[in-house]
Amino acid sequence: MSLCDLTARELHRRLAAGEISAAEVARACLERIDAVEPEVRAFITVTGERLLAEAERIDAARRDGEALQPLGGLPVAIKDNIVARGVATTCASRILENFVPPYDATVVERLAAAGACLAGKTNMDEFAMGSSCENSAFFPTRNPWDPKRVPGGSSGGSAAAVAAGEAVFALGSDTGGSIRQPAAFCGIVGMKPTYGRVSRYGLVAFASSLDQIGPLTRDVTDCALVLNAICGHDPRDNTSAPEPVPDFTDSLTGEVRGLRVGVPREYFGEGIDPEVKGAVGAAIDLFAELGAQVDECSLPHTEYALAAYYLIAPAEASSNLARYDGVRYGHRAAAGDFVTMYKKTRQEGFGPEVRRRIMLGTYALSAGYYDAYYKKASQARTLIRRDFEQAFERFDVLVTPTSPVTAFKLGERAADPLAMYLADVCTIPVNLAGLPAVSIPCGFQEGLPVGLQIIGRAFDERTVLRAAYAFEQHTDFHRRRPPLARAVMTSGKGLWGVVR
């Protein structure tokens, strides 16, 4: 195994012991990027020179006797809707193609303070709208487990980069499942923390009442380590919660005896692939064997979640995306008068899915329709949140599939928006309720990973991680690495700098 296939914790151990240097880890990742990127295409921008320079700085500080920070010297990949000063942030959109942000997102600052080194910015569905990475304006990313298949989305580049060993961990954003679903498709761990847990300052807004940043990692311990670094109140984000941040690694006991695990029946109905159901069912049996109290429950308003989401999210998006006007930043169409310039800029700059969402959202918010659509959706959202509150009176966590299916083929759903929207039917209710949830690998079907979703109470990431870690201790799905073809491994050519 190459250094770039190890977990953050294992690398930290070796770095702290002086067995390896941060520069060696950085070079291992860059070599892997060179080798697999022509096939996987997880990155929009690779910051190779910056990565090496940062790693060398960490090594120098170590030689001067400084202690190794918690993520010291670890290459991180960051979704291209989170800003890092001086590095292009495109949101995989033509409209931001040449935008270079003048500041760091809070999470980028916090990762830097924890010693992590930036490997690059990852591909995504344009403005995080999609479930396959095919809505990127630049190119689709491919699933490292099978390059004919999608990596999921919208944080597909981040998930593929971690699965393929191009970065040790990654950040994504999750509005309706965009961290958990690609984590499931790529066989890694992905967590959406509680709404408000992680600052959204420097995250390009899609749907502000749903968006949350979170980690994509090789295992649950790494997920806890990254959460330790990025969580916490931030005065620059007024939805950021003042809640104290615990040490998330503390909860990784390996014990679930007596833990009350609820299985919501609505998540096992029609539309869920029988193979996914099988793998998730086996995972639930394992919880019972480990001494958890497993019982069925109901979240009766689940059926309204998708419809409510596809009113609320586009409504918020239509407002958030009004700022791309060709005046303040990003693409500007060459045109005469102001109104023509504005129209042309947006026409040229936004792809078809983003335009669809803007139209849906504008319609839902328009006078005369507001009550019938946006207000109704908000009411459904309240009912969905209450369902969860009631379930959490009886249970500590709820377990469901992360996605109804395993990774689908490129192009298979691209022409049918509704089929694509259904990819997130299990993850969207969690965003509507603002709860924390993780996806962990729980099996393989015909060589493709299956994800298990564990949902917790607001601000109780610890219990979610405890359950996830106990499961991981008794399985080895998280140790498998995708069998990238030998040809791919040897075909690398120089890709440093921008690879768009």
* Footprint of ligand GLN (CB under 6 A): 128-131, 154, 174-178, 206, 313, 424
CB of 24 to ligand GLN, least distance (A): 35
Q: Which is nearer to ligand GLN, 180 or 346 (CB)?
A: 180
CB of 303 to ligand GLN, least distance (A): 17
Q: Strand, helix or coil at 403?
A: coil
Q: Strand, helix or coil at 451?
A: strand
Q: Any residues with CB less than 8 A from the CB of 416 and at least 6 apart, and which? A: none
CB of 353 to ligand GLN, least distance (A): 8
Helices 305-320 & 352-365, crossing angle to 10 degrees?
Answer: 100
Query: In terms of DSSP bridges, do strands 117-122 and 75-79 run parallel, antiparallel, or are they unpaired?
Result: parallel
CB of 324 to ligand GLN, least distance (A): 17
CB of 206 to ligand GLN, least distance (A): 6
Q: Which is nearer to ligand GLN, 181 or 463 (CB)?
A: 181
Burial of 412 (0-12, 13-18, 19+ CB in 10 A): middle
Residues assigned a catalytic role: 79, 154, 178
CB atoms within 10 A of CB 439: 36
Burial of 390 (0-12, 13-18, 19+ CB in 10 A): middle
Q: Which is nearer to ligand GLN, 178 or 251 (CB)?
A: 178
Helices 461-473 & 220-230, crossing angle to 10 degrees?
Answer: 160
Helices (H), 231-337: 274-289, 305-320
Phi, psi of 9 (to 5 degrees): -65, -45
Q: Which is nearer to ligand GLN, 35 or 313 (CB)?
A: 313
Q: Which is nearer to ligand GLN, 68 or 354 (CB)?
A: 354
Alpha-carbon distance 164 to 154, whole Å? 17
